[in-house]
Amino acid sequence: MVLARARAVDGPDKPFRFAEIKRRELDEQDVLIEIKFAGICHSDIHTAHGEWGHVHYPLVPGHEIAGLVTAVGPGVTKYQIGDRVGVGCMVDSCGECENCLRGEEQYCLNGNVPTYAGVDKYGEPTQGGYSTHIVVTEDFVVRIPDNIGLDAAAPLLCAGITTYSPLNRWQAGPGKKVAVIGLGGLGHMGVKIAHAMGAEVTVLSQTLSKKEDGLKFGAQHYYATKDPETFKELAGTFDLIINTVSAVINLDAYLGLLKLDGTLVNVGAPGEPLSVNVMSLIGHRRSFAGSMIGGIRETQEMLDFCSEHGIVPNIEVISADQIDEAYERVLASDVRYRFVIDTSTI
């Protein structure tokens, strides 16, 4: 058993505090990881604030984990001590259902085990990456390519895969017009990845304040959604729209920006329901879809894609004492473009 240092929260309105958490003894297939960096995802905030329903407190969030392997169980074959590895939003699944067998463990029919705010196969609550160590079964660990720093790698484990997966599935590529709504953690990764896939990318942000950044990330066009002219000018333009917004937006307005047969994929996950007028879909045979992170195989594929294309997130590394402040800034859309905790400061 390893005693890890961590930052935990005791309730929806409580600040983060120091905590010690127990990581289990290594089982046959387990890997002990010394966490070096952990990204702050807006999902951490939704969860810590109880917006997605009841959670078990104290809660240690964090599902964008990058670190080094420091011990392995006797049956581990894929990893060795010293390997640079990552862990994303899930740490286990049944491994036997139709979806797991397809490599889509995130959609495990028996429920995947989330990295935090879940219950593992031993009946223990899972605790996430705002900590110094974690024990994970090797099948839920991925390898971080050598040319990506561990700090920059962390956000790829959620923000990277959550945007890569729908861009891949809905075939963003040459000749495709792709829009990304919201230029935050997920959004800025979506822009970089869609651009690298060869698509013509447009950012739909609330204002033009981040335009220069958006164009640097690879967008060709950048529009303010606060300006009603945007919706007139872009009507019927896109093959694919990825909505990364953490709050409720007027979906019908955005569906109107799709071409015939276009698809709007929602990855943003506000606690409140989003409504759709079916006429927005019927009119031009449009689709409205959702997508959740990606499977382990696809996560490795995404890391290798980012390595090959030189894609890394734009990060601001913070100390563990700055988590509350970082949450405030994310909520104010003042993130450029992912906060990453240096876990040596915990």
Point out which residues bind ligand NAP (CB under 6 A). 41-43, 46, 158-159, 162, 182-187, 205-206, 210, 244-247, 249, 267-270, 291-293, 330, 333, 335
Exposed/middle/buried for 88, CB within 10 Å: 0-12, 13-18, 19+? buried
Q: What is the dihedral of CA 337, 116, 320, 182, to 10 degrees?
A: 10
Q: Which does 202 bind (CB under 5 to 8 A by kind): Zn ion, ligand NAP, none?
A: none
Choose between 179 and 293: whose C-beta lies nearer to ligand NAP. Answer: 293
Q: Which helix (H) or strand (E) holds 86?
A: strand 84-87
Choose between 32 and 242: whose C-beta lies nearer to ligand NAP. Answer: 242
Among 41, 76, 91, 172, binds Zn ion (CB under 5 A): 41
User: Amino acid identity of 134?
Assistant: I
Task: Give a three-class secondary structure readout of 34-62.
Answer: EEEEEECCHHHHHHHCCCCCCCCCCECCC
- State the minimum distance, in angstroms, from the CB of residue 155 to Zn ion: 9
* Span of 38-46, 118-126, 244-252, 294-302 interacting with Zn ion by CB under 5 A: 38-46
Choose between 129 and 268: whose C-beta lies nearer to ligand NAP. Answer: 268
Choose between 1 and 332: whose C-beta lies nearer to ligand NAP. Answer: 332
- State the minimum distance, in angstroms, from the CB of residue 212 to ligand NAP: 13
3-state DSSP assignment of residue 227: coil
Q: What does the DSSP 8-state code read for residue 232?
A: H
Q: Both tokens of residue 18?
A: 């120091």
Q: Which does 299 bind (CB under 5 to 8 A by kind): Zn ion, ligand NAP, none?
A: none
Q: Which does 322 bind (CB under 5 to 8 A by kind): ligand NAP, Zn ion, none?
A: none
What whole-number distance in Å separates Cα of residue 192 and Cα of residue 311?
7
- State the minimum distance, in angstroms, from the CB of residue 93 to Zn ion: 17
Binding characters for Zn ion, 145-184, by CB under 5 A (x = yes): -------------x--------------------------
Among 29, 36, 43, 168, binds Zn ion (CB under 5 A): 43
Q: Both tokens of residue 237?
A: 């333009």
What whole-number distance in Å separates Cα of residue 128 and Cα of residue 139?
17
Residue 64 and residue 158 in contact, taking contact as beta carbons nearer than 8 Å: yes
Choose between 184 and 262: whose C-beta lies nearer to Zn ion. Answer: 184
Choose between 62 and 262: whose C-beta lies nearer to Zn ion. Answer: 62
* Span of 22-30, 36-44, 74-82, 214-222 interacting with Zn ion by CB under 5 A: 36-44
- State the minimum distance, in angstroms, from the CB of residue 269 to Zn ion: 9
- State the minimum distance, in angstroms, from the CB of residue 95 to ligand NAP: 20
- State the minimum distance, in angstroms, from the CB of residue 185 to Zn ion: 8
Q: Which does 185 bind (CB under 5 to 8 A by kind): Zn ion, ligand NAP, none?
A: ligand NAP
Choose between 307 and 333: whose C-beta lies nearer to ligand NAP. Answer: 333
Is cis: bond before 125, omega within 30 of 0?
A: no
**According to DSSP H, which parts of 218-338 are helical?**
228-233, 251-255, 279-282, 296-309, 323-331
Choose between 115 and 132: whose C-beta lies nearer to Zn ion. Answer: 115
* Cα→Cα distances 73→99, 113, 190, Å: 27, 20, 36
What whole-number distance in Å separates Cα of residue 80 and Cα of residue 71?
8
3-state DSSP assignment of residue 99: helix
**For binding to Zn ion (CB under 5 A), which residues are involved?**
41, 43, 158
